[in-house]
Copies of this chain bind each other. A is one copy, B any other.
Amino acid sequence: MAAEFDSLEKCLAKHLPAADLKTVNQILYGRELRSLSLPEDATSLASERDLEVQGYGIDAHQEELRAARVVRVGAIQNKIVLPTSASVDEQRTALHKRIGQMVEIAAMCGVNVLCLQEAWPMPFAFCTREKHPWCEFAEDALIGPTTKLCQEWAKKYNMVIISPILERDEVHGDTMWNTAVIISNSGQVMGKSRKNHIPRVGDFNESTYYMEGDTGHKVFETQFGRIAVNICYGRHHPQNWMMYGVNGAELVFNPSATVGTLSEPMWGIEARNAAIANSYFTCAINRVGTEHFPNEFSSGDGKPAHKDFGHFYGSTYVAAPDASRTPGLSRTRDGLLVTELDLNLCRQMKDGWGFRMTQRLNLYAESLTEAIKPDYKPPIVKE
């Protein structure tokens, strides 16, 4: 897939006649979303800092007994800043600085809940299978430098921040985890959510570094709604999305790092399917750019060793429980997506479509309990 192709939505908007574009967008993206007007000083500062900003509103109908619960959700996608040959400290500091500039713009746009991309303070170095120096990017989730910085931002901007990092757990054997730290708008760390499903495909050699998460499917009740975090490869697992819904999430973030022609056709499908099936909002975030590494590595595909991870295609978007979604951010540029959404839409969709009422969880609790037995005999009918 051409890395230079900027955006599916912009391509359709450019070439389709107006009436056709409307119908195509309805089929592909559901009802038309409101365009969100963002402050002039924010958009001009974004432009100065070479940052795409898009804003949309996803409304619910007005209820009699509940006030609208309107929240502005921010999602940031970005390239790494320095070459991966720079020192660990330099690379991280440069990312801290760059994201700080973007968080400032998010605050100017009134963002209440902000999520950064997976393992944001580092290059996605797991393709190399090298432990040195990449393991040094791992940080303590509670007192590491990245968490401290996010706490400052959270408090300063009155913003809930989800900060996905490579976690070092010193208490439990110095192990590493792929972890999202959830920081309240008060600046307090509310807790962490670890990646539940770990890939072993292509250059995604993450099982070399950390294990499947042990934090289950926690939901964080913030001032701006009940949120949860399903990290990267967990989006391929509908049962993972489902448990966050069962536990009450209204908004589930999917901070990711993904590349290539194989995963891109899945990108628009999975987080959106989860929003529909679970009557909640989802926000899928992917990095941009191509990351080059100092030493060559092979990709388990029989091809010669090489030094880059391919093109992270961005395309960050928000999906709503009514099957609508925002356009994606650029496939190539740093970006901030601001979505103003009314959380009341979640329960309205539960009432309307009834997907939660009709889930029959007892059937699946029983079926799965049977299915995991070593001597399970699936009900296969033969002639």
Contacts of A98 in B (CB 8 A): none
Chain B residue nearest to A201 (CB atoms) is: B353
Say if the beta carbon of A143 comes within 8 Å of chain B. no
Stretch binding the partner chain, chosen from A24-32, A46-54, A119-127, A162-170? A24-32
Give the Cβ gap from A347 to chain B, nearest Cβ, in Å.
Answer: 15
Neighbouring B residues of A242 by C-beta, 8 Å: 238-239, 364
Contact of A365 among B263, B266, B360, B369 (CB under 8 A): B369
B11 touching A24, Cβ below 8 Å: yes
Which of chain B's residues have a CB closer than 8 A to the CB of A287? Answer: none
Residue A173, interface by CB 8 Å: no
Partner of A361, one of B15, B27, B360, B372: B372
**Contact status A323-B353, CB under 8 Å:** no
- On whether the beta carbons of B241 and A238 are closer than 8 Å, the reply is yes
A41 to B198, CA, bound (A): 51
A198 to B237, CA, bound (A): 24
Number of copies: 2
Say yes or no: is A63 at the interface (Cβ < 8 Å to chain B).
no
A216 touches B367 (CB 8 A): yes
Q: How many residues belonging to A are interface residues under a CB distance threshold of 8 Å? A: 91
A69 to B243, CA, bound (A): 36
A65 at the interface (CB under 8 A from B): no
- A355 shortest CB reach to chain B, Å: 5
Task: Return the chain B residue nearest A300 by Cβ.
Answer: B352
Question: Could you list 25 examples of A-B contacts with CB < 8 Å?
Answer: A1-B23, A1-B26, A1-B27, A8-B24, A8-B27, A11-B16, A11-B20, A27-B264, A28-B28, A28-B265, A200-B354, A201-B352, A221-B381, A221-B382, A236-B355, A246-B371, A246-B378, A247-B378, A247-B379, A247-B380, A248-B380, A266-B323, A273-B273, A365-B371, A365-B372
